[in-house]
Chain A
Amino acid sequence: MNGPRKFSDRESALPPLDTELELTFRDPAGELRLAKGCALRRIRAAAEEETRAFLESPLRKTLERSGDLISSRIAEPGSHSCISSGEFWLEHPRIDPISYPWEWTTAQWRAAAELTLRVASQAIDAGWTLKDATPLNILFSGPHPILVDVLSFERRDPHSSVWLAYGQFVRTFLLPLLAAKYLSWPLQATLFARDGYEPRQIYEALPRWRRMNPKLLDVVTLATVFERPGQRRAASKKTPSTTDPALARHVLQKRIARLGRQIRHAAGERGHSQWSRYEQTAGHYQAADVEEKQQFVKSALTRCQPRHVLDIGANTGTYSLLAADAGANVVALDSDSAALEQLWRTALDRNKPVTALVADIARPTPAAGWRNREHLSLLDRLNGRFDLVLMLAVVHHLILRHQLPLTHVADLCASLTQRWLLLEWVPPSDPMFQEWLRGRDDLYGHLTEHDLTRAFAPHFAVVDRAQLGNGRVLLLFDRIPV
Chain B
Amino acid sequence: MSRVKLLQISSVALILLGAVLVFERPAYAYADPGTGLLAVQAAGSALVATGWYLRRKIYSLFRSVDAPRAESDEQSVAADGEDSPNP
A residues with a Cβ closer than 8 A to B are 161-163, 166-167, 170-171, 198-200, 214-215, 217-219, 222-230, 232-233, 240, 242, 246-247, 250-251, 253-255, 257-258
**Chain A residues, CB < 8 A from B43:** 222
Q: Is the CB of B37 within 8 A of A223?
A: yes
> Is the beta-carbon distance between B85 and A166 smaller than 8 angstroms?
no
> B36 — which chain A residues lie within 8 A by C-beta?
199-200, 222-228
Is B34 within 8 A of A233, CB to CB?
yes
Q: How long is the Cα–Cα vector from A215 to B38 in the complex, in angstroms?
A: 18
Given the interface contacts A223-B40, A254-B82, A258-B44, does A167 sit within 8 Å of B34 by beta carbon? yes
Asked, given contacts A167-B34, A232-B35, whether A240 binds B80 with beta carbons under 8 Å apart, the answer is no
A167 touching B38, Cβ below 8 Å: yes
Cα-based distance from A251 to B73 in the complex (angstroms): 11
Contact of A199 (CB < 8 Å), options: B28, B33, B77: B33
Partner of A200, one of B28, B38, B40, B49: B28
0/1 per residue, B3-39, Cβ < 8 Å to A?
0000000000000000000000010101111111111
Pairwise interchain contact A227-B32, C-beta atoms closer than 8 A = yes
**Assembly CA distance A230 to B35 (angstroms):** 7
**Residue among A166, A233, A247, A258 making CB contact with B35, cutoff 8 Å:** A233
| A153–B52 alpha-carbon span in the complex (Å) | 28
Can you name 26 A-B pairs with beta carbons within 8 Å?
A161-B45, A162-B41, A167-B37, A170-B37, A198-B33, A200-B33, A200-B36, A214-B86, A217-B86, A222-B43, A222-B87, A227-B35, A228-B32, A228-B35, A228-B36, A229-B31, A230-B32, A230-B35, A232-B32, A233-B32, A233-B34, A240-B45, A247-B52, A250-B70, A254-B44, A254-B48
Query: B42 in the interface, Cβ–Cβ < 8 Å?
Result: yes
Taking the closest CB of chain A, its distance from the CB of B87, in whole angstroms, is: 5
By a CB distance below 8 angstroms, the chain B residues around A232 are 32, 35
Dominant secondary structure of chain A at its interface with chain B: helix
- Indicate whether A250 sits within 8 Å of B48 (C-beta atoms), given known contacts A214-B85, A223-B40, A226-B40: yes
Contact mask B45-78 → A, CB, 8 Å, 1/0?
Answer: 1001100100000000000000000100110010
Distance between B71 CB and nearest chain A CB, rounded to angstroms: 11
Set of chain A residues within 8 Å of B30, measured between Cβ atoms: 229-230
Q: Contact at A162–B45, with CB atoms within 8 Å?
A: yes
Q: Do A218 and B44 touch (CB < 8 A)?
A: yes
CB of B42 to closest CB in A, whole Å? 6
Give chain A nearest CB distance to B46 CB in angstroms.
Answer: 9
Chain B residues engaging chain A, CB cutoff 8 angstroms:
26, 28, 30-45, 48-49, 52, 70, 73-74, 77, 80, 82-83, 85-87
Q: Please determine whether A161 and B31 come into contact, CB atoms closer than 8 angstroms.
A: no
Q: Do B39 and A222 have beta carbons less than 8 Å apart?
A: yes
Residue of A171, A223, A247 contacting most chain B CB atoms (<10 Å) = A223
Chain B residues positioned under 8 Å from A227 (CB to CB): 31-33, 35-36
In the complex, A200 Cα to B85 Cα: how many Å?
19
A254 CB contact (under 8 Å) in B31, B40, B80: B80
* Cα distance A226–B33 in the bound complex, in angstroms: 9
Query: How far in angstroms is the closest Cβ of chain A from B37?
Result: 4
A273 to chain B, nearest CB (A): 30
Give the docked Cα–Cα distance between A198 and B80 (Å).
Answer: 28
* A250 B52 Cβ-Cβ under 8 A: yes
**Residues in chain B near residue A218, CB distance under 8 A:** 40, 44, 85-87
| B35–A226 CB distance below 8 A | yes
The listed residue with most B CB atoms (<10 A of its CB), out of A162, A167, A171, A219, is: A167
Chain B residues, CB < 8 A from A224: 36
With CB as the reference atom, state the residue of chain B lying closest to A239. B38
Q: A222-B40, A257-B82 are in contact. List 16 more A-B contacts (CB 8 A).
A: A162-B41, A167-B37, A200-B28, A214-B85, A217-B86, A218-B44, A222-B43, A222-B86, A225-B36, A229-B31, A230-B32, A233-B35, A247-B52, A254-B48, A254-B80, A254-B82
Q: Is the CB of A226 within 8 A of B39?
A: yes
A189 vs B86: C-alpha distance when bound (angstroms): 28
CB-CB under 8 A from A251, the residues of chain B are 45, 48-49, 52
Q: Which residue of A lies closest to B81 (CB)?
A: A254
Cα separation A479 to B80 with both chains bound (whole Å) = 64
Partner of A255, one of B41, B85, B86: B41
Q: How distant is B4 from chain A, measured CB to nearest CB, in Å? A: 40
Roughly how many angstroms separate A133 CA and B35 CA in the complex, as a whole number? 17
